[in-house]
Amino acid sequence: MRTVVTFMLLMAMTLSVSAQNFTIKGRFTDVVNDTVLINYVKREPEKQIVDVSVPIGADGCFNYSCDIKYAYQASLTIQTSGNESSFFFVPDESVEIEGPSVSQDDWDINGTTFYQRQDSLNQLLLPFYKEFAAAKAKYDKGVANGFDKEMLDSERKAANVDINKRFWKVTHQYIMSHLNDELSATILLRQNYTDILPAIRMLSPEVRNGRFKDYINMIEKMFSRVDKEIKAKKAATLELEEGKSAPDFTLKDINGDDFSLRSLFGKGKYVVVDFWGSWCSWCIKGFPKMTEYYNKYKDKLEIVGVACYDKEDKWKAAVSKHNVPWLHVFSPDGTIEVRFGVIAYPYKVVISPKGKVIKCFKGETADFYKMLDEVLK
């Protein structure tokens, strides 16, 4: 008898360990026999981009389960149409959605208590979403009818400014009245950006350290960088201009030694200054292609990676993990980024052997590699 009981307990434990702690079931009323592409980023224990293709049946239904430690904001994209929506996956919860893929605002949402409460919050904000949609529809109709686009742009901008002022007031008031409610975390980004950091710092420890901890920390890190950059802009001015000499800088390299950009000029090599961060998934995705080109042209090319708004340990770990072979330095305060006019990440500045700025590239773009082929062949 004891053997049977022990076996049953072991089976129960096995089932418990393998069980998925989040499930979403859905039915799209305007989609059949398609695929929903689910994407979210897990950051614990380390950053991982999750991409999953889930079939949608002849009845428009789909089903997805996963095991997650923290709440993540996922995107759901219909493969054929490209219709995209955003939805929070929350551990130890389940949800059922039904409605058109073209309009998340028209979904019926049922599930565990969290999602029932979230649906009530969505209903509170729904009139604003409808106003935004109406402003866009008016703009699209005007463009289709050939009306003056500049006038339409101005009208839509004015309408959105008015809607946002009222919208931000409602979301901020909700958060301030619900500092001990994790639902407040779901609308942190739906406030005026100046209210986001103060709101995060007022949330209760239970919310800060609960299921939305990872999401809240990500937002706080992001807007702390923005805050640093704003302060840096007040203390620095843009010095970079295509065709002019590149501004010099001296920063600590990965070994803790001083490195000067000027030390690379006049040696017959083109220089690429690559502004990136270990937190930037697009930066990381670009490393293999950059490594290929570095190895291809390293007798004519030098690359300097500038880690921006990063933590030293994570910066060094990323360089080691991805085996990035070029020079690396650390920017501690955002001042260099302001001087170089960095407006997105990654951001690459191509400099001639004599130290003249040739061209700047925002993001990971094929034009950057095309230019390297042109000047280095």
Q: What is the pLDDT of residue 238?
A: 63
CA–CA separation, 38 vs 69, rounded Å? 17
Q: What is the pLDDT of residue 235?
A: 60
One fold for both 20-110 and 250-376? no
Q: What is the pLDDT of residue 44?
A: 75
Whether residue 354 contacts residue 264, with contact meaning beta carbons closer than 8 Å, is answered with: no
Q: Mean pLDDT for each 10-residue chunk of the chain (377 residues)?
A: 43 46 97 97 84 97 96 96 96 97 94 96 95 94 94 95 96 96 97 93 96 94 77 65 89 95 95 94 93 94 94 92 96 87 91 94 92 91
Q: What are the extents of the domains in the chain?
A: 20-110, 115-233, 250-376
CATH class name, domain 250-376: alpha beta
Nearest-Å Rg of the Cα atoms of the chain is: 25
For the record, the structure tokens of 139 come out as: 């703009």
Q: What is the pLDDT of residue 11?
A: 42
Q: Is the dihedral of CA 129, 89, 221, 241 positive or negative?
A: negative
Q: Out of 3.40.50, 1.20.1300, 2.60.40, 3.40.630, select the CATH number for domain 20-110.
A: 2.60.40
What is the 3 state secondary structure string of the chain?
CHHHHHHHHHHHHHHHHHCCCEEEEEEECCCCCEEEEEEEEECCCCCEEEEEEEEECCCCEEEEEECCCCCEEEEEEECCCCCEEEEEECCCEEEEEEECCCCHHHCEEEECHHHHHHHHHHHHHHHHHHHHHHHHHHHHHHHHCCCCHHHHHHHHHHHHHHHHHHHHHHHHHHHHHCCCCCHHHHCHHHCCHHHHHHHHHHCCHHHHCCCCHHHHHHHHHHHHHHHHHHHHHHHCCCCCCCCCECCCCEEEECCCCEEEHHHHCCCCCEEEEEEECCCCHHHHHHHHHHHHHHHHHCCCEEEEEEEECCCHHHHHHHHHHCCCCCEEEEECCCHHHHHCCCCCCCEEEEECCCCEEEEEEECCCHHHHHHHHHHHC
Whole-structure pTM value = 0.64
